[in-house]
Amino acid sequence: MSILEVKKIRKTYQSRFGGNRVEALRDVTFSVEPGEYVAIMGESGSGKTTLLNILAALDQPTGGEVVLDGIPLNSVSDAELAKFRRENLGFVFQEYNLLDTLNLRDNILLPLVLDGQEVSTLKEKLEEVVSVIGIQDLMLKYPFEVSGESIRKGKPF
Ligand SMILES: Nc1ncnc2c1ncn2[C@@H]1O[C@H](COP(=O)(O)OP(=O)(O)O)[C@@H](O)[C@H]1O
Ligand SMILES: [Mg+2]
């Protein structure tokens, strides 16, 4: 079974006063199999951000359907959506969207805390993530201290 099915999705942006309409997506259909890597390419303004926002359930299509791991996204209520996203989706934004005032450890823990997980589970999951990525020494640093900029300039963290 496909992990993601995108069926004829459309997105039309309309200004609040009924003026300019922009058809950002028109009948986009594709599917992704488990383990498959997919890149979406296109010139600026071609609808990549619109598509990804819809796939991440941050925005809704004007028409069509997105089915993620067998669950039609439009069947998930607004109230359940934040939890659904935390449990099923990962999204790395161009601007990262880490919280500047939390160190890396707390940035990693935040979604688990919001989920009401036990302290023992928090510790277990934190250790797992940290060892997979190999960032043990960075846990108490803040995002600005480990930015891509420092890495590119070849500075130590
Ligand atoms: N919130 C919005 N309101 C109105 N038009 C928008 C909005 N977001 C994007 N658009 C328009 O939708 C089209 C696709 O934009 P976008 O998805 O950002 O493309 P890309 O990420 O490929 O550059 C563009 O014409 C853009 O101007
Ligand atoms: Mg974009």
Residues 72 and 8 grouped into a single domain: yes
Is 82 among the domain residues? no
Is 148 among the domain residues? yes
Is 8 among the domain residues? yes
Residues 9 and 56 grouped into a single domain: yes
Scan for tokens 């990804």, then name that residue.
52
| C-alpha angle 30-34-35 in degrees, rounded to nearest 5 | 110
Which residue, by CA, sits nearest to atom 27 of ligand 1?
45
- How far does Cα 95 stand from its chain's mean position? 12
Is 87 among the domain residues? no
Question: Tell me, what DSSP letter sits at residue 107?
Answer: H
Q: Which residues line ligand 1 (CB under 6 A)?
A: 13, 22, 24, 42, 44-50
Residues 71 and 20 grouped into a single domain: yes
pLDDT by residue for the chain (157 residues), tens digit each? 899 999 999 999 987 776 788 999 999 999 999 999 999 999 999 999 999 999 999 999 999 999 999 999 999 998 899 889 988 898 888 777 889 999 999 999 998 999 898 999 999 999 999 999 899 999 999 988 986 654 445 554 4
Domain coverage including residue 17: 4-76
Tell me which of 38, 56, 76 is where a domain ends: 76
Which residue, by CA, sits nearest to atom 25 of ligand 1?
45
pTM of the full structure: 0.79
Is 93 among the domain residues? no
> Which ligand is closest to the CA of 16, given by its number?
1
Residues 71 and 125 grouped into a single domain: no
Q: What are residue 6's DSSP bridge partners?
A: 30, 66
Residues 61 and 121 grouped into a single domain: no
Number of domains present in the structure of the chain: 2
Is 27 among the domain residues? yes
Is 91 among the domain residues? no
Is 35 among the domain residues? yes
Which residue, by CA, sits nearest to atom 7 of ligand 1?
13
